[in-house]
Amino acid sequence: MSTTPQSENLTCDVLVVGSGPGGYVAAIRAGQVGLDTILVEKDRLGGTCLIRGCIPSKALIEAAEHFAKANENTTDNKFGISASTPTLDFSKTIAWKDGITDQLSSGVAGLLKAANVRVVEGWAKFENAKSCTVDDTHITAKNVILANGSVAVEIPSLPYGGPVISSTEALDLVEVPKTMAVIGAGYIGMELGIAYSKLGCDVTFIEASANILPGFDKQLSAPIAKTLRDLGIHVHKNCFAKSVSSKGGIHTLHFETQKGEEQTLTVEKILVTVGRKPCTQGWGLENMAIDMDGQFVKVNDKCQTAMSGVYAIGDLVGEPMLAHKATAQGEMVAEVIAGHKTSFNPAAIPAICFSDPEIISVGVTPQDVLDKGLETIEGKFRWAANGRALTTGTADGGGFIRIIALQNTGRIIGIQAVGRHISELSGEFVLAIEMCSTLEDVASTIHAHPSLSEAFMEAALHALGRPLHST
């Protein structure tokens, strides 16, 4: 990390705390608009998403998919491809993953330097709203942007350490464990659990709710449930992890059912993925006279806190706790400080689960329609009727695109999809909602053939009552 020499006192127009997707973008944009900017980061540039989350997890998922495909080629498969049994050098897998994060972190450093942002390495501790100490350096700022991010939630009876790991440690294991229990079948657990299963680990999920991926409806999670069955992954629903006992290097997870029945599972690793919480401890938040909204920092549509000149963004300010939300807020806040007239008011923020298959949800869901009593029409198109989906495996295991539109105007307010390789369609989905597109807009837009994007057009046609390639 490129750092500024330690100094007794520094002053600046903008002080950004945290170099995740929100913080470093805020700092870059602030520098671009001519504001004297300092960024404080205790770890490597890029934050949790780049170093310990989004990017390395997707790298591991990609490597796992390649290994799974190679194993499929040892049998007589539908492609007519055959090969000898593959082997896995997991140290090379991790080295490749680390190479990607190193490259991106270095890229962030270069962008900050180009924007004339000073970087101070260390942990910022605030004594008041506009002043903090980083080791022996004291920084006073006219404006402060808090981008402190979030940390993994810990189960009190299963503290991290030994066989109990968070997603951070799961991305840095030196070898693939033979067995693993994943506590929580949400999107983080699902992504990592499926990846490690494909790498040869015997995975078992312990989920407190009645369904996997409780943030998505059953129609969307059904194809993932099929993948779990195909991979031989066991799922214990309505179950609660209680404790772990170890003896002679053998670790036993104790959990119980909703009815109070006690059960045990012997595993090498216990991956806890029960959510994340904002990082609000240990840096002086209590000294800043800032209002809270539950566990989150309370902000308005410009991400301003109750203290003038202090802003908060990203995971610190509430759901959705997603990197791209933080990025958008970071850019916006820098422009607000520069005097631009702008605010954070997106029509929709995409949520993606990089499971197998992938899930996208943008805007209003069917449950929202019921809860709000909206009058809507719905269109659906299954991948099985899309040529490109059939050739790429997207149609395997089912999957579809669903469009929800207002009945009286046809304006699209929600889009969901499940299928392999569909995360790249999220941009088109968000754009449609952000631009207030109607079903007719999408249906009359010529989509390239053969492509997965055609399914979006077909779903719109279905909602309009004139489907071409479905009934």
Q: What is the pLDDT of residue 287?
A: 95
- pTM here is 0.93
> pLDDT digit string (tens) for 134-181?
999 999 999 999 999 999 999 999 999 999 999 999 999 999 999 999
pLDDT at 305 over 80: yes
Supply the residues annotated as catalytic. Answer: 449
Q: What is the pLDDT of residue 35?
A: 98
Question: Which neighbouring-strand residues pair with 278?
Answer: 150
Report the alpha-carbon distance of residue 260 to residue 246 in Å, rounded: 22
> pLDDT digit string (tens) for 170-229?
999 999 999 999 999 999 999 999 999 999 999 999 999 999 999 999 999 999 999 999
**Which token pair is 403?**
């469009």
Cβ atoms of 155 and 274 closer than 8 Å: yes
Query: What are the two backbone dihedrals, phi and then psi, of residue 254, each rounded to the nearest 5 degrees?
Result: -105, 125
Give all domains of the chain, ordered by start, each with its CATH number. Answer: 9-150+278-337 (3.50.50.60), 164-274 (3.50.50.60), 351-463 (3.30.390.30)
> How close are the terminal C-alpha atoms of the chain, in Å?
57
Cβ atoms of 270 and 244 closer than 8 Å: yes
Query: What are the two backbone dihedrals, phi and then psi, of residue 185, each rounded to the nearest 5 degrees?
Result: -105, 40
